Amino acid sequence: MTGQENIPTEIFQINDERKHLEGLLKDRINFHLLFASVFMAGLSTIHDAKMQVWALGFITVISLLIALAVLRTFLLVRRALLEIRNFNPKPPYGRYHDAVSFKLNANDILLAVPFILTVAFLMATVTYWLRSSNSASDVSPHSHPAVVYQIEDHSDRRSVTGADAAEATKQTKKARAQTH
């Protein structure tokens, strides 16, 4: 006896559907993370400010749509888990859930990821849009030329050997003593 003889066939069907839905949820979250990563790598190669804004706007909309698809799948998984948990007699999942003190499900935590990324993309879109609109208004015939900073390297890179090395060391020590 396995203890499953008393559990009706319906719970196994629900569990099979739950497994399918959780796999779908996992795949959608992974796709969202991959899509976001590839997009951000591609965005770094775009040097035109207006194209960056358009690209970020596009990814924000796509990210929101994927987040909504993840939310719907999450709600279906949650409903299936609730039905399994409340089934009588309690299947193993229901007993395990009742025995664990930390009731937050991993799916609950992962649900936030696509929405956090969507908000981050929206913020980046607004920032880039404001930056591109400010830079467009800054470009005028009377605007000042850009300031270019140049860092000069004053280190001595000569190869010094023998007596020249001793003399160079004395000069270096003398120069350091004078600066202190």
pTM for the model: 0.64
- DSSP element (H, E) containing 163: helix 162-179
Bond preceding residue 89 cis, omega within 30 of 0: yes
Q: What is the pLDDT of residue 150?
A: 64
The two structure tokens encoding residue 167: 């003399």
Q: What is the pLDDT of residues 122-180, one digit of tens each?
A: 999 999 999 888 865 554 555 555 666 666 666 666 555 566 666 767 777 777 777 66
Residue with token string 């270019």:
148
Computed on alpha carbons and rounded to an integer, the radius of gyration of the chain in Å comes to: 31
Q: What is the pLDDT of residues 8-67, one digit of tens each?
A: 788 888 888 989 999 999 999 999 999 999 998 998 899 898 999 999 999 999 999 999
Q: What is the pLDDT of residue 1?
A: 46
Cα(23)–Cα(30) distance, integer angstroms:
10
Least Cα distance to 98 among 114, 84, 115 occurs for: 84
